[in-house]
Amino acid sequence: MAVSQTRNPMIDHYVGVIRDKSTGKGDFANAIENIVYLMSQDITGNIGTERKKVMTPVAEADVAYFFDKVLVVPILRAGMAMFEPLRRLLPMATFGYMGIRRTHCEGEFQADMYYRSLPDDLAEHKVILTEVIVATGSTIDYTIDHLLKDGVAQENITLACIIASKMGVDMLIEKYPKINILACAIDEKLNEKGYIVPGLGDAGDRYNGC
């Protein structure tokens, strides 16, 4: 599995904006969308293309078009913050949704699904999962496990997140060695509530205002 930390001065700036607790809802959402645009080259890096002849106003040109079926799956709720830039960049993509709830039970964080809307031909797609924060990794673990049971190959799964914990990334690396993980920042610690430290708090609450 490739774990890539996507960095440049603009990404670093906007990550700083979303970490700042004084950032309001509108600026928080705008910063996340800008980060996704800046990550887009890496997010789409494993999508296959095919050559095609087109006519420009001047002459024939040999161009590349996306060939693979692409499925973008925001993990509800916070993953929706990354939705709009990918909808604009990948208008030919299919968009599915998975709602995963994380609970704390007997000292462990567990996940369960409360909503799922995915295409019948799921296994034929390159799948891009979006989640702003990957903390314990339990939500993503649960999501990937369901995709694999539906026939999606590990190497066809890309996880695009903005901030991840080292613990969550290490767990996913060990369990799913062929998926691709993209993150802008990897933080070292989790607190007793399972929040990344320093992190940015609850991304879903900050994006939605509640």
The β-bridge partners of 127 are 71, 157
Tokens of 151: 């026939």
What pLDDT is attached to residue 121?
95
| pLDDT value for 108 | 65
Nearest to residue 185, comparing CAs of 3, 2, 6? 6
Query: Which pLDDT score is estimated for 104?
Result: 64
Identify whether the C-beta of residue 159 lies closer than 8 Å to the C-beta of residue 131.
Answer: yes
Q: What is the pLDDT along the chain (210 residues), one digit of tens a residue?
A: 456 777 799 999 999 999 999 999 999 999 999 999 999 999 999 999 999 999 999 999 999 999 999 999 999 888 999 999 999 999 999 999 999 877 666 666 677 888 999 999 999 999 999 999 999 999 999 999 999 999 999 999 999 999 999 999 999 999 999 999 999 999 999 998 888 999 999 998 999 988
Task: Answer whether 0.85 is exceeded by the pTM.
Answer: yes
pLDDT at 2: 57
pLDDT of amino acid 111:
77
